[in-house]
Amino acid sequence: MKKNGQDSKEIPLIGQGFQAYIDNLFWFLPFSSQLQAYEMLAKKEISDEPWCTKRDEIKADHLKERAPADLREGWKAWIAEHVAGKEAGAAVAVPSSGVLSVERD
């Protein structure tokens, strides 16, 4: 609601900030923290350059104009295929291939 208490405006839940937050959570799996991930890289004497380069590519992808719409449509399609029409409490099938990437122009 706006300050006047009468009018409302739509604020999307899934925006660039939300996408970045979720990516950050998944980026550091299976580590329990960012610190643990970077300690492992240092211990194994692995450069973090490829790691950081790929992370920057993902961040840039989320800034593209189509990113929020692609995410919304992807979620709608996944729900329609795996959840819609299922009985309450039924197991939801998760594709074994994991999350699919979308190439944006």
Which residues, 6+ apart, have CB-to-CB distance to 97 below 8 Å? Answer: none
Rg of the chain over all Cα atoms, to the nearest angstrom? 18
Model confidence at 36, pLDDT cuts 50, 70, 90, reads very high
Q: What is the pLDDT of residues 41-71, one digit of tens each?
A: 899 998 889 988 988 998 888 888 888 888 8
Which pLDDT score, from 0 to 100, does residue 35 have? 93
* Contact call for residues 39 and 71 (beta carbons, < 8 A): no
pTM: 0.52
Whether residue 30 is preceded by a cis peptide bond, meaning omega within 30 degrees of 0, is yes
Among 42, 45, 62, 15, residue whose Cα is nearest residue 34: 42
